[in-house]
Chains A and B, each alone.
Chain A
Amino acid sequence: MKKRYKSPWWINSWHPSGAGFVPVISTRLVFQDRLGGSRARWGIGRMRYMINPGLYAVGAPDADSPVLVTANYKLSFDNLRKNLQHINAWVLVLDTKGVNVWCAAGKGTFGTEEVIKQISAVNLSSVVRHRTLILPQLGAPGVAAHEVTRMTGFKVVYGPVRAADLPYFVENGLKAGREMRTVSFTLRERLAVVPVEFVKSWKIAFAAFLFVLLSSYPSGDMISWSTFFRFLPYVGAILIGCLFVPALLPWIPGPSLAFNGWLVCIVATIIYTLFNTDQLAENMVYLLILPAISSFLALNYTGATPYTSLSGVKKEMKFAIPLIVFTAASGIVLHVIGLWRAI
C-alpha cells in the first residue's frame, strides 16, 4: 500500500514499534532547517513554526530504548534531534502550541496533563517495556513528576538543561551534575533573542521617525538628510536597548534591567552631546528621551533572561515605568517648546 501522506524532509523512514510504525527523524539539520530557524529568530511565522505532536524514533530504538520528551516548537525539536547522533531513542513530542519547553512549562502547556495525554495517545506502554520518561529539566515548572507517575505508572526523570548534554546523561545512567542542571546565559544565548526584540521595537522606531519628521516641518525641509541624521540617535537608543545591553549585560553595574538600559544610553548620549554641534536645549531633549527608550527596551528584555523573577520585575517596573514615561514626556515637551520659540 502506498502512503499518500507526504513526509516532511526531516523524516527519513518508518520504524516498527509495539504500537505501529513510527517516523524516524534525521539527526542532521539541513539548509531548510537552518533557514526556518533563522526566520523564526527574526519573528517571521514564529508562532506557526511547529511540528505535529506524537511519537518519533531516532536511530533504531527498541522496547528498552529511552523515551525523550520535548515541545513541538520546531526550533526546540531541531535542537534536540541534532544532538542525538549515534543514539537509539524514542522522542515524544508534546503539543505546546509551537512554544519552547521553558516558556510552555511556565504557561502549563508543557504540563502534567499534556504528558499524560500523549502517553496514552501514542500508546507508549506498548512501545517500551520500561516505565521511564526523560524530560528536559526546564520542563519541570509545568510538570509534577509524581502526578504523572500516579496517573500513568511512568516515572519522570529530569534530564539536563541543554540537549547537548543528553548523550552523556543517557550514558551516565540518567545522572546529571549540578552544572548540567543549572541554566547558563552565555553571550550566544543572550544574543539569540536579539533579532526578535529588534523587530518588535518597530513601533518605537516608527514613533521616533514621525517625531523627527514632524519636528522638521517648521523648517520647511522635511525630506532631507538633516531629518535622516536627526533620526539616527533614536536608532542608536534602540540598538543600545536591544543589542548592546544584552551583549554587555554581565559587565553593566546594577541588578535592574531598566537601570542597565538607562545607564548605557545616558553614557552614550553624554558622549554624543559633547561631540555634536546642537544647542544645549536640543541636547537636553536627547538626554531625556534616548535613555528612556533604551531603558524601556532593556526592561522588556527581562522576559528573555533566565535570572529575573516575576516579583522582581513587578518591583522594578514600579519605579522604572513612571520614570521612563516622565523623562520621555519631559523631553517631548521641551522639544516642542524649543520648536515654538524657533518659529
Chain B
Amino acid sequence: MISAMRYLKNVVTLELDISRCTGCGKCEEVCPRAVLSLNDGKISISDRDACIECGACSRNCPFEAMTVAAGVGCAYAVIRGTLKGTAPDCACSDKYDCC
C-alpha cells in the first residue's frame, strides 16, 4: 500500500558523495522508506523519489557521505514558519497547541 503512495517527483535534496562511502550500510539500515540499497560494498540511491528528507541517513553516516536538507514535510509548519518569519515550525513543542 505504501509503495502506491508516492509524493512529488524530482524534488528531494538527497545527495550521496560516493567517494566518502565505506559501505558500512548504516544509512540503508536507518532509512524508513527503503530509498537506499547496498550492493558490492557501496551504497546507491535506488529509489530517490521515495525519500522524505527525514535526515536519518545523513545523521547516522559517520563519514558524512550522505547529505540532505532535512525537515518535516508538513504544510502547517511551513505556513506557521512563513507567517512568523522563521524556519518551518509546527508548534508541537509549544504548550497546548499542536499539529
Contacts and interface: CB of A to CB of B under 8 A. Distances in A.
Interface of A: 43, 46-48, 97, 99, 103, 105-107, 109, 137-138, 140-146, 158, 161, 178, 181-186, 196, 200, 249-250, 255-257, 299-300, 302-317
B72 interface: yes
A218 B11 CA distance: 50
Taking chain A's interface residues, is the majority helix, strand, or loop, or is none over half, making it mixed? helix
A315 B12 CA distance: 10
Contacts of A314: 78
A145 B60 contact: yes
A90 to B, nearest CB: 22
26 contacts: A47-B92, A47-B95, A97-B93, A106-B55, A140-B56, A145-B26, A146-B60, A158-B30, A181-B31, A183-B33, A185-B5, A255-B9, A300-B76, A302-B74, A303-B75, A303-B90, A305-B5, A305-B73, A306-B32, A306-B52, A309-B71, A310-B70, A310-B78, A311-B11, A311-B69, A312-B12
The listed residue with most B CB atoms (<10 A of its CB), out of A305, A314, A315, is A314
A196 B62 CA distance: 38
Interface string B1-34: 1101111110111000000000000100111111
Given A47-B98, A183-B32, A315-B8, A109 B93 contact: yes
Given A137-B30, A144-B60, A303 B74 contact: yes
A161 B69 contact: no
Contact of A141 (B51, B70, B98): B70
B40 interface: no
B84 to A, nearest CB: 16
Interface string B48-90: 0011111110011010000001111111111100000000101
A56 to B, nearest CB: 23
Given A46-B98, A299-B75, A303-B74, A310 B69 contact: yes
B59 A143 contact: yes
Nearest to B82: A317
A182 B72 contact: no
Given A303-B76, A307-B5, A309-B7, 6 more contacts: A46-B98, A138-B32, A250-B4, A255-B9, A303-B73, A309-B73
Contacts of B76: 300, 302-303
A328 to B, nearest CB: 15
Contacts of A140: 30, 32, 54, 56, 59-60
A69 B76 CA distance: 29
A156 B77 CA distance: 30
Interface residues of B, number: 49
Given A144-B60, A145-B60, A182 B33 contact: yes
B60 A308 contact: no
B29 A158 contact: yes
B30 A312 contact: no
A297 to B, nearest CB: 10
A107 B93 contact: yes
A103 B76 CA distance: 14
Contacts of A315: 8, 11
B52 A309 contact: yes
A249 B99 CA distance: 19
Nearest to B70: A141
B93 A99 contact: yes
Contact of A186 (B1, B29, B70): B1
Contact of B59 (A144, A305, A310): A144
A311 B29 contact: no
Contacts of B78: 310, 313-314, 317
A250 B6 contact: no
Given A43-B98, A46-B98, A109-B93, A313 B74 contact: yes
Contacts of B94: 47
A178 B3 CA distance: 13
A141 B56 contact: yes
Contacts of B72: 103, 106, 303, 310
